[in-house]
Amino acid sequence: MKWKVAMLQMDIAFGQPEQNVESVRRLVDQLARGESVDAVILPELWDTGYDLGRLGEIADPEGRRAHSLLKEVAQKLNCHVIGGSIAEKRAGQVYNTTYTYDRHGQLAGTYSKVHLIRLMKEDQFMAAGEQPGMFQLDDQCVASVICYDIRFPEWVRLHALRGAKVLFVTAQWPHPRLDHWRQLLIARAIENQMYVVACNRVGEGGGNMFCGHSLVVNPWGEIVAEGMQQEEIVRAELDLSLVDEVRSRILVYDDRRPNLYTF
C-alpha cells in the first residue's frame, strides 16, 4: 500500500486559537488545490502555541473546537487527519492531545502526551497522558506521539512491538536543538524499521524560535522529504511494503533478547 502524506508546517499565533483555526483552514484550502493525499498531519499545540499561562482561558473544552475542524478537514480532503495536538481541557485538567480522524470523518484515535517537557515548563501547566497512541488507518497499524516523546525510545519501541508500521510525530521543536530533532527521528526509524512522519512548526513564540524541518524518514533511515524553515506544505509518498521488506532483511525483532532487558 502506498500513502501520499502532507505535513502542514505552519506558523502558530501565540495564544490565539481563532487565528490559528483560520491558518489551518488556509493551508487546507491550499492543499485541496493540489494533488490529493491520503493523510495530513499538523504540528503540536497548533491552537494555542506554548501560551501555558493562559491555558485556563484558551484551552479547548473537551476538544470541541478541534473535533469539529478536524472532522471537516477529513471530509473536505477525503483523507486521514493526524490532527497535530491541541490544549484539551478535560476533567479539570489540560492535556496536550492528538485527535486522529480517518478519511470517512470518524475519530480513529486519541493520544495525550505522556512525557511532558520540564525544560519548557509543560509539567507545571498540563497533565500527562497514560495511554499509548495506537490506531488503524486503512487497516494499517500506526502510532502517534508528541514531540519530546521521541527522546524515549522505549516508548516508541512498545508501539513498534505492537505492530505499528508508521510513527506520526507532531511537534513544536525549537532551536538550538535542530540536530537532535533530525537525528532522533532518523534513529527511531532505523531501530524500529518503520516510517517516521514528523511535522514541526515554524515561527517564534514564548521566547523560542521553532525550527521547521518537518521530516519523513523511511524504515531504512533515508530522508524521503524535509521542510525548510518557513511555512510550507511538505509532501511525501510512503510505500508501506518497505516496512516488511526491511524487517525481513535485518531480523531485529526476532533477534531481540527481552529476557535480558530486565536487569
Ligand X SMILES: NC(=O)CCC(=O)C(=O)O
Contacts with ligand X, residue ranges (CB under 6 A) = 44, 117, 120, 147-148, 151, 172-174, 177, 180
Q: Is 44 a catalytic residue?
A: yes
CB of 120 to ligand X, least distance (A): 6
Whether 210 and 188 have beta carbons less than 8 Å apart is answered as: no
Q: Is 165 a catalytic residue?
A: no
Annotated catalytic residue, options 44, 88, 122, 231: 44
Based on CB atoms, which residue is closest to ligand X, 97 or 172? 172
How many other C-beta atoms are found inside a 10 Å radius of the C-beta of residue 88? 27
Annotated catalytic residue, options 71, 79, 88, 113: 113
Whether 15 and 48 have beta carbons less than 8 Å apart is answered as: yes
Q: Is 147 a catalytic residue?
A: yes
Which H helix or E strand runs over 143? Answer: strand 140-146
CB of 55 to ligand X, least distance (A): 14
* Sign of the CA dihedral running 189, 197, 120, 97: negative
Give the C-alpha distances (Å, rounded to integers) separating 165 from 25, 54, 136, 142, 156.
Answer: 29, 37, 10, 6, 11
Based on CB atoms, which residue is closest to ligand X, 95 or 148? 148
CB of 208 to ligand X, least distance (A): 8
Based on CB atoms, which residue is closest to ligand X, 25 or 121? 121
Active-site residues: which are they? 44, 113, 147
